[in-house]
Amino acid sequence: MPRVKKETVKMLKIKLVKSPITYAQNQKDTLKALGLTKMQKEVIKPDNAPIRGMIKTVAHLVSVEEA
């Protein structure tokens, strides 16, 4: 039986750097879904298409770097 090479999943560190108070409700909901509820909070999420789409929605409120 051949060995299967396990791929490592790239991760993203996402940090809320700007307040979402005056922004649309869908952007607030997106931040909540990402787990960003307070200023300067950081979360680590897998680098995949759905997460990238969420980041694109709130790109002006967050900073992103590879973890």
- Domain count across the chain: 1
Query: Would the pLDDT of 2 be above 80?
Result: no
The tens digit of pLDDT for each residue in 22-33 reads 999 999 999 999
12, 65 contact by CB (below 8 A): yes
For residue 35, the enclosing domain spans 11-66
Is residue 41 in a domain?
Answer: yes
Q: Is residue 2 one of the residues assigned to a domain?
A: no
Assign residue 38 the CATH number of its domain. 3.30.1390.20
pLDDT at position 1: 66
DSSP 52: H
Mean pLDDT of 42-49: 97
CA–CA distances in Å: residue 15 to residues 5, 22, 33, 47, 50: 32, 18, 13, 15, 17
pTM to 2 decimal places? 0.86
- Tell me if 6 is assigned to some domain: no
